[in-house]
Amino acid sequence: MSGNLEPRKYKNPFLNWIEFRLPIISYFEREYGDYPMPKNCNYFWSFGALATITLMVMILSGIFLAMNYTPHTDMAFDSVERIMRDVNYGWLLRYIHSNGAAFFFIIVYIHILRGMYYGSYKYPRELNWILGVFIYLLMMVTAFMGYVLPWGQMSYWGATVITNLFSAIPVIGEGLKTWLLGDYTVGNATLNRFFALHYVLPFVILGVVGLHVAAVHVHGSNNPAGIDIKSKNDTVKFFPYMVMKDALATCIFGVIISTVIFFGPNLMAEVDNYIPADPLVTPAHIVPNWYLAPFYAILRAIPDKLGGVVLMFGSIAILFVLPWLDRSKVRSCNFRPIYKWFVMLFFINFFVLGYVGMLPAEGLYLLIARIGLVYYFGFFLIITPFIHRIETPISLPMGISDVYLGAGEKKPILNSQKEII
């Protein structure tokens, strides 16, 4: 029969049967087996894998939580309490999901900062960066909607404040807000649609993650030296080297997140969210989740409603054009003696903004938020586009293998690499 004519690439005939009809085996072999990774990549390059794994865990725990959750204003809060008290291991599922969300953002923030520091967004990986920012945006929307579902006081008032941002838009704002809410205030219609969207958006994220990974595999991963792969000697195979490295990173991450889930599950939670939502009483202090707090700080730093909203959305939108704002040809900050410090200051500034975003917007905190806001935009609009004019980069190594060259110990390292391969 025709089966005899089919190519026999693998020992296992079943794999050959699949491969002939859908070349998925060779695809995985190429992209996750032989895929060449620069051999100088450090552990910052494990955070993409960690983020993917966390996304899977979030989807899995979310599906099982949804089996016991009721998206109705009269029952949502109680159904979450029932998950906590009566559903078998419900408490574990919920704590995995709520802390998983926080750790997802920690991982993604490190992943983004890695990309910024080592210039991973530059030619030819601009589209890859844009897809990444898009994932980040989807994550924020999904996390916000998820936070509304337990229907506690913070859920309700957080939703009220964020949806009211849209009412700042001239002319169409009020109508747009009502359309988003499906009611004049945050109500049952809102809770219902937020649940529907919170369920579906992670799968959209999964799709964009697929594109994000496919895009990075076209030109290969960046590396701490920020220079291109020139020969096979510059790389190691994804399997087993990177798989083992990412596996170790995953184990360490697992230890850290488990410690929080089991010993401090409410460390990153707001106590007010254990009070059922009350549309007639606003909590004295509405606190956003910490991972959205930097943008909340920017919103409140401006004494004008529309101005604050424009800058808040602008602070996210500006990330999309970063590849075109940075005019320097050198990717890695390891070779950019001045910009390096501005990037590090940007990271610190982002966390300071997040810190003041969770405190009342008054006095010193407001002043700090305003200074942070100025630096945030100053970094993107002044420092990043113009710093290369006054900065002399350190000379780049000729190739990735040269990174390892100390004085007089050239060959041994190269040889040993070859032997391993």
Closest separation in Å from C-beta 284 to another protein: 5
Q: Tell which one of 39, 97, 111, 300 touches another protein (CB under 8 A).
A: 300
Positive or negative, the CA dihedral 48, 378, 143, 135 is negative
Q: Tell which one of 9, 82, 193, 388 touches another protein (CB under 8 A).
A: 193
Asked if 241 and 37 touch (Cβ cutoff 8 Å), the reply is yes
Q: Which amino acid is at 352?
A: V
Which pair of structure tokens corresponds to residue 14? 């079943």
Asked if 402 and 39 touch (Cβ cutoff 8 Å), the reply is no
Q: Binding to another protein by residue 192, rule CB under 8 A?
A: no
Q: Binding to another protein by residue 364, rule CB under 8 A?
A: no
Tell me the C-alpha distance between 327 and 111, whole Å. 22
Q: Binding to another protein by residue 155, rule CB under 8 A?
A: no
Q: Tell which one of 185, 233, 250, 417 touches another protein (CB under 8 A).
A: 185
Chain-centroid distance of CA 106 in Å reads 8
Binding residues with another protein: total (CB under 8 A): 33
Q: Binding to another protein by residue 282, rule CB under 8 A?
A: yes
Q: Tell which one of 5, 251, 267, 284 touches another protein (CB under 8 A).
A: 284
Query: Which distant-in-sequence residues (6+ apart) come within 8 Å of 174 by Cβ?
Result: 167
Q: Tell which one of 16, 26, 52, 178 touches another protein (CB under 8 A).
A: 178
Rg (CA), the chain: 24
Q: Binding to another protein by residue 113, rule CB under 8 A?
A: no
Closest separation in Å from C-beta 175 to another protein: 9
Q: Binding to another protein by residue 184, rule CB under 8 A?
A: yes
Decide whether 90 or 372 has the Cβ nearer to another protein: 372
Q: Which amino acid is at 341?
A: W
Tell me the C-alpha distance between 328 and 319, whole Å. 17
Decide whether 177 or 237 has the Cβ nearer to another protein: 177
Tell me the C-alpha distance between 150 and 90, whole Å. 14
Q: Binding to another protein by residue 176, rule CB under 8 A?
A: no
Q: Binding to another protein by residue 189, rule CB under 8 A?
A: yes
SS3 36: strand
Closest separation in Å from C-beta 150 to another protein: 19
Q: Binding to another protein by residue 361, rule CB under 8 A?
A: yes
Q: What is the DSSP letter of 85?
A: H
- Determine if the peptide bond prior to 240 is cis (ω within 30°): yes
Q: Which amino acid is at 313?
A: F
Q: Tell which one of 303, 324, 386, 414 touches another protein (CB under 8 A).
A: 303
Binding range to another protein, per CB under 8 A, among 185-193, 224-232, 256-264, 328-336: 185-193
Binding range to another protein, per CB under 8 A, among 37-45, 172-180, 227-235, 259-267: 172-180
Q: Binding to another protein by residue 160, rule CB under 8 A?
A: yes
Give the residue ranges of DSSP H helices in 149-266: 153-164, 173-181, 188-219, 243-263
Q: Tell which one of 123, 179, 324, 351 touches another protein (CB under 8 A).
A: 179
Which pair of structure tokens corresponds to residue 159? 């939703």
SS3 38: strand
Closest separation in Å from C-beta 310 to another protein: 14
Asked if 300 and 369 touch (Cβ cutoff 8 Å), the reply is yes
Site string for another protein, 58-97 (x = CB under 8 A): ----------------------------------------
Which pair of structure tokens corresponds to residue 387? 């710093």
Q: For binding to another protein (CB under 8 A), which residues are involved?
A: 157, 160-161, 163-165, 167, 178-180, 182-185, 187, 189, 193, 279-282, 284-286, 300, 302-306, 308, 361-362
